[in-house]
Amino acid sequence: MRLVWVAPILALALAGCGELGAIDFPLTGPPTDLTPGAAPTTPVEAGALPPPGVTDPGVTTPPPDVLVTPPLLLPSPGGAAVPAAPIPVTNLTRTDLLGGWTINTGVDACQLFVTLTDWIALADGTRAYRASTRDCTTQVLVAISAWTLEGQVVILASADGTTLARLTPISLDRFEGQIVNGGVPVAFFR
């Protein structure tokens, strides 16, 4: 029974050695001669490493606008964590928002559910869709009943169409903004 969980852990530990080359078991290419005293078949080069920041010209990476990652928390000079610069999200659609999220005001963290069921018209006449929360304790999060998308801004509203919060995408998995009355920061993420 112990072997069942030891084997995957051992495989992960060995995977940390690059191509397992540290123990002479490459994952790609032709099989390596494992006989004792066998010499390498290709010459080993000696030399200095390039200075920091210089990359191998043969290695390519995708352009940064293709990557979508959650924000990183970087230490600030005062020691507190601050979010890294947001990655622009330019093609946000209503279907990107569907499903379950965690919504957080710093005081309250609970669940937000977003659907495409027509629900109400907001105060400005914009059509909104059904949203709901679960396990929230603050009145503003409990009151969320609708949502809509205005460009790249997500509007969360109450059942009477009053806008409760406005949020913008940090990534497709994280939105940040403020509660309209009081300016309390709010975020939802998955």
What does the pLDDT read at residue 112? 97
What does the pLDDT read at residue 176? 97
Structure tokens at 135: 């396990």
Amino acid letter, 96: D
The confidence band for 65, taking pLDDT boundaries of 50, 70 and 90, is very low
Burial call 28-65: b when 16+ CB within 10 Å, e when fewer: eeeeeeeeeeeeeeeeeeeeeeeeeeeeeeeeeeeeee
Residue 61 confidence (pLDDT) above 60: no
Q: Between 72 and 44, whose confidence is greater?
A: 44
What does the pLDDT read at residue 163? 94
What does the pLDDT read at residue 77? 54
Residue 70 burial (C-beta neighbours within 10 Å; 0-12, 13-18, 19+): middle
Four-residue CA torsion sign, 104, 107, 110, 112:
negative
Please check whether residue 53 is in contact with residue 59, taking contact to mean a CB–CB distance below 8 angstroms. Answer: no
Mean per-residue pLDDT of the chain: 74
Residue 75 confidence (pLDDT) above 90: no
Amino acid letter, 103: I
The CATH number of 94-189 is 2.40.128.10
Q: What is the pTM of this model?
A: 0.54
CB atoms within 10 A of CB 20: 14
Which pLDDT tens digit goes with each residue over 79-134? 555 555 555 677 899 999 999 999 999 999 999 999 999 888 887 888 899 999 99
What does the pLDDT read at residue 123? 76
Of 115, 105, 69, the C-alpha closest to 187 is 105
- Domain map of the chain by residue range? 1-45, 94-189
Q: What percent of the chain has pLDDT over 90?
A: 45
| Range in 16-30, 82-96, 167-181 with the lowest mean pLDDT | 16-30
The confidence band for 3, taking pLDDT boundaries of 50, 70 and 90, is very low
3-class secondary-structure state, position 185: strand
What Cα–Cα distance (Å) separates residue 152 from each residue in 55, 88, 175?
36, 10, 10
Which pLDDT tens digit goes with each residue over 133-143? 999 999 999 99
What does the pLDDT read at residue 129? 95
